[in-house]
Structures are given as C-alpha cells and as structure tokens.
Structure 1
Amino acid sequence: MAQNIRVQHTEPRRFLQPASGYLQDYDYTLNPFVGCVFACKYCYVRAMPIARFHEGQWGNYVDVKQLDSASFTRELIAARKRGAVRIFMSSSTDPYQPIEYREQRSRTLLEQMVAHADLVDFLFIQTRSPLVTRDIDLLQALAQRVMVSMTIETDLEDVRRRFTPYAPPLPKRYEALRTLRDNGILTQVAVSPVLPASDHFASSLRNLADYVVIDDYFMGDGASGKRTKQLHVEELYTPDEIENWYQPHAYQKTLTQFQTIFPAEQVYVSRMGFLPPADRK
C-alpha cells in the first residue's frame, strides 16, 4: 500500500540537542527531520512522545527543519566553547530518507561541519539509505572524524519486506557500503535489531564494513524491550521465529556468527557499538 506523505517545514529552536540515555556518551544528537517515512514496524520511536503526540500516523509525515547556515555555525561555536562536540545523526529519524533528495537538509548540515571541521570532534551517521553515498565528497573531507553506520538487520529480503516494507532493498544497502568503503569512508553494519536471517548473513558482509554492532529490542529500545512490545512486533513473527528470534538471548546466535567471520575487535554489542571507535573498549 502506497504512503500518503504530508510534508511541512518547521522552525527549530536549535539543531544540536544534548545527548542522553542510550546515547549519553555523545555530546549532541542531530535530527534534520521529525518523522521518518521508512516507517519500520519495529521502530521504538513510534512509542516515544515525539511520535505519540505528533499529529498524524508515524510514517505518513515528515517535518523538514528550516536551516539557517549562519545560525547552525553559531551552534557549533557555542558547543565547542562548552567542550567536546561528538554528534550522533540521527537518533529519531533517518537523515537520508527520500525527502532528503529534494531538501538536501543533511547535505547542508554536512557542508557546514566540513567548513568548520575544527569545531567537530566526531560525527556518527546512522542510516539505512543508499542516498548517503551522494555525500561522499563531504564525508571524505571529514576523514576520520566521521563514520557511516548502515542498518542491515537481515540478509533475507522477504523478512525485510515484512518488517520494513518502505525501507531500501538490501542489495542497495550492500552496494552503498561497498561504495563508501571503496572511497575510504569508515563504515559499520548495524544489525539492529536482529531479525531472522540465514546462516550466511555474516559472510555476505565480509569486507564491506570496518565494524559490526549487534543489537536487539531488549537492549536497544531504551526501555528493555517495553517500547517495542507496545508496537506488538511479535505479531510479525512466525511461531518458529518467536522461539528462535524474538527472545532476549536470540542475539547471541547472530553475534557468534559474526564473531566467526570478523575479527573480535570489529564486533560490538548494543550501546558500545554506537560509540565513536576511539571510545570503544
């Protein structure tokens, strides 16, 4: 079923928001949009106030934050005066969802960070969109100050369509990872959340990422799985999958598979895998 997307432009008080909770090791979160048309059925943001108290159904609206470049530069300067500037983009939206093709909000923010790179310690980009490859020129300019983490929860396209019908197909994400890495961009695969997958999942990603992070609902939704449970995601699983994949211990099978293929120092679990690489232990 096609989405009927309502787009509006809003005036944010600021772009850089103090990081907290699951992302407390960052200094700021940066969300160019409110809402996300990928509308992943398991997305814990659906159960958060930003979605629950917004007009419209999650996935059917996007608020594009109006950007004044000079104002954002002042935000960066003020942030530097307070201390470190480690930014997570994005915590409650995808910075490269389809509206970005037209609005180029994420690209403009990147341009400002490149222009003032001395004010940015590290930028972590979390996305599931191949559109991120459009900005390779800017990512290269940030060099080791940026990492792109690509969400790939499964290697089974039928599972992807069941849980995230509006998200980019898996082959396109694989291709994007390869392009990023071939162009010298630090990359990560975020198996987040762990979904039903084949025994060849890890091997299919060999040589495509510098790091891998394994996460699930119970560790990663900020409420020990309670937010996700409100979404009734268990109804998306077959009875066999419930037993094998929707349990607090299920991630360990996927973790073992990736640890067999990737060096131990490249594979992380939950929150640790979303930190800047220099802060991982």
Structure 2
Amino acid sequence: MKITKAVFPVAGLGTRFLPATKASPKEMLTVVDKPLIQYAVEEAIEAGINELIFVTSTHKRAIEDHFDKNFELEYNLEQKGKLDLLETVRNILPADVNCAYIRQKEALGLGHAVLCAKPLVGNEPFAVLLADDLIDNANGKGALLQMMEQYYYQKCGVIAVQEVFKKDTGSYGIVKTRADNSIQAIVEKPKPESAPSTNAVVGRYILPGEIFDYLEKIPKGAGGEIQLTDAIAKLVESQRLVAYHFDGTRYDCGDKLGFLIANFELAARDKVLGKKFMAHVESMLKNIKQG
C-alpha cells in the first residue's frame, strides 16, 4: 500500500532548551534559517508524503501558523518588491500537501502521541518523524525516501538505526537483528551490559496500521509512559520489520550541543553564508590562539 501520511509528534515541552522554549515550541528552533520542523516536513514531502499529521499540545500554535498562509506578510513583501522572500514564504508547503492537527491531552510519551493520530491515520501504513533528529543528506536522498524505497522493496515496516557507542545504549531504543536485518528484538534504553547490540533507533519509522492495536494494549513502560518501543517489541513477534542504516548525518537537536553542531555544520556548507561564516570562525580561532 502506498504511504501518503506522516505523523509528527510535536507535543513535548522542550525543557532542555528553557527559557527559549517557554513561549515557543522547541520544533520552531532554527538551524541556520529554517525551524527544525520544516526540515522534517521537507524530508517527508521528498519521500512522497502529502498528508502531514501534527500531534500537538498547548502553546504549539506557532507550528500551525508557520505552515499556514500569512496574507499580511505576503502582501507586505509583494508591495516592497521582495519577490525572492515572497516566493520562499509561499513555497513552504506545496499546494497538494495538507496539514492536520490533533491534541495530545496528556504527556504520556511517544507511543501515546503516535496513538493520538489513529483517528487520522486509520489502518494504513504511515511514517513517523521526530523533528529533534535532523538528518542531513545534502548530496543524496533524504533518510525517509531511502526508507520508503526499502519499504516497497521489503514489503514491511522499516525503522531507522545507527551505530552508537556501547556506553550510550541507555539513551536509545536498541534493536537486535537477524542476518537479513529483520528485527528480532527491541529494548528501550537498556544498560550497556544488557544491551542486545549497539544499533540504536533514530527518529524515523515506517509502521503498519496494526501498531495502534499494540499501543492501545501495552502497559506504561519506562518513565511511566506509553513507549513506542514496547509496542514495536510486541509487533515484531508477529510481523516482519527491518532495521535500516540510512545514509546521512544525524544531528541530535534535542540536545544543546547537538543543536549547536547542526547550526555550525549546516552554516559552513550554506551556499550563501558558508564562506563568510567560515572566514569569521577562522578569524575567531586565530584570535583565541593569540590571546
């Protein structure tokens, strides 16, 4: 079945970035000149998604406004002859892409956020993208497009993974795979000594509609939350899912250091800003050494 829907869980409070996220969603934090959520949405659209489902909470109106039309701004830009900026604003979303918003009324974890999207997804296979994980592949296909190709080839769900250090397994869902990369087991944040591997789940999923059945039945897991990992662990007992090592650079923008690194590296490669930015960095480093 063709996948046309993607779920974006954006209800989190973003406490690690306070006070910046006190009144503005963490997904609206910008890397160079675009908010994190726009990078994720562009990746989904590249992969053929045309129905965007945002699972939100209070104080997230800025996300809805960002993807809506702003007639006053567009009129102002047009009157001032700023046509390049006008085109940028108008083309944030293609005309054939639709947005829907649904509230997560309680902060009960990622699994619960995905479950909230069930009325809009139905029983279809769908994608899930976490905006905190910015995956850049400037010279090739986006991560979700790569996964979509695997989905149509493998004819089963696909979960993005990357290798992490053994000491860091406690920060991720960790998968154990068979020789054909099908998932044998998945564990949420295991201690290094008990981790089944060092293949860590990254914030990109292609899941069958049946995942909702398991999300409705599983008890609360780590942190007293409904864990998507726990539902996937039940799902793989009866369905084949594969782990996929995507091509691209993943930046953990839910972490301050990861967010700063993303800004630095994407700014350094920017076609307009890159040379001037790096000249400034080199000058700054030179001054530090001399000082």
Larger radius of gyration: 2
- Where relative contact order (Cα < 8 A, 6+ residues apart) is larger, the structure is 2
The TM-score, its normalising length taken from structure 1, stands at 0.27
| Greater per-residue strand proportion | 2
The TM-score, its normalising length taken from structure 2, stands at 0.27
